Structure 1
Amino acid sequence: MAVRPASSIISLTNPLTSSTLSHIRHTLNAAYSSAEHSPEYTYDPAETHAAVLLPLCNVNNQPGILLEVRGKLRTHSGEVSFPGGRVDKTDASSLEAALRETHEEVGIHPDQVEILGRFGPPQLSLGGMRVWPYVGFIHPQPQRRRVTEVNTDDHTPLPSLPMSSLALSQREVAFAFHLPLSAVVSPPRLHAYQFRGTEPYWAIDVSDIIASAETSDKDPLKRDEVGGGREGRLEAWGLTGWYLNCFFRTIGVYR
């Protein structure tokens, strides 16, 4: 298992643009379109389902991913996670569930999300739910269309998302932070884990990123709200870490 940032289809330091979103959309489609009809991607209505959003965004002109630290909940309390949750009967699809949950948890309206694709395969959570992951870019303002065909030659940086614009669910989210893409190739923060005891992946230590974000946040994270990770680290690990690795392998950051 290795890191190879030079092979990534996008820059890990320059702001995301319409061109880079187009490359990500094309890469996800090429990697997973043929898998849509395989058994592991079949949506079984007899199962309980959940959906998460991997939310790409620019913050202060840095490309990265918006992540949460979960509140004091019955499961995975205090852990790093994506926005998302259980698919309800009122949801038209797992994608709609991911968008609804993102709105409820961090205040991002569905029309702010430009969907780039789905990846996977969907895994069972420890709670027995089949989790469907989607990738989207978060615009600071609602867009007329969430999915657009963009100019692949447009290298203008897309607007940054003000972290102060988020409206966190007091019950579900203890903290929200921006994980810069450049941080996911930093060896000191990468720790080798095995997903479900078999598949190797990198857990990403975000302790310092959160500590830095807290210095300017009006509602700092309470230390007793933190859980997960080893040796006192706050990490993106477990299913969240696994899906981050799946995404980074797809776009060529990890191999």
Structure 2
Amino acid sequence: MTDAHQDAAPAPDTTALRADCGDCFALCCVALPFSASADFAVDKPAGRPCGNLREDFRCGIHTRLRDSGFPGCTVYDCFGAGQKVSQVTFGGRSWRQAPGARRMFDVFPVMRQLHELLWYLTAVLGMAPARPVHAAARALRDEIEAVTLRDAEVLLGTDVAALRGRTGELLLRASELARVGATPGRGRKHRGADLLGAGLARADLHGADLRGACLIAADLSGADLRLADLLGADLRDADLSGADLTGSIFLTQPQLQQAKGDAATRVPSGLHRPAHWKT
């Protein structure tokens, strides 16, 4: 594998897997609980609207969430589950209108998990080296998509763990295929490793396995993370200044939002540099 861009397949359309708050009834601001911490300024139980939520379902402090003590809101991504539940499952009726609001709140986290699986499977279809598993990934993606179009009762009865297990097997195989030509970092296996605060500045992690690794506050400035598998890696407060994440595998926007970076950080195609990073 000589170049991540040469090996990239045409990027599948992920529009439906991106949050569209304009078509959602602020489900993440109501259905989910949060506790007073470094991420949230106050406690809020599940099912209770956030105190910053306006009548039009918009956030009253959206442009200053971090400065107001709600950075946790800026790193959350529903992968498009909010609008699916709002507009498809409940036919455009908000939790203020629908008599079964509780059911809407119960469905939302299930849908979010399903849409996350759809996002990962769609990512596999954009990886040219993973063509041997494209057919299986497409079939599973279609199966999960069909479930997301069913009614609330079917969604709540879905065995998400089983679907996650099947998806995980495909993602692992796709990762191995994509990283087969990466050197020398491919031999470095840090799956699930505790790298809290680790000094990895300018480290050669090209093609490394960092699945589920704890990289909280790690110094990854200037690190070569091309083709590194970052599925589930905890990048909270990790320093990615000047790091090269080109072609990194299964990296999500929420992971980038949790990290620190700058104008020199190279992010994968399809993701964007967070607004709070240094310019």
TM-score, with normalisation over the residues of structure 1? 0.27
More helix by share: 2
User: Which structure is higher in RCO with an 8 Å CA cutoff and minimum separation 6?
Assistant: 1
Larger radius of gyration: 2
More strand by share: 1
TM-score, with normalisation over the residues of structure 2? 0.25
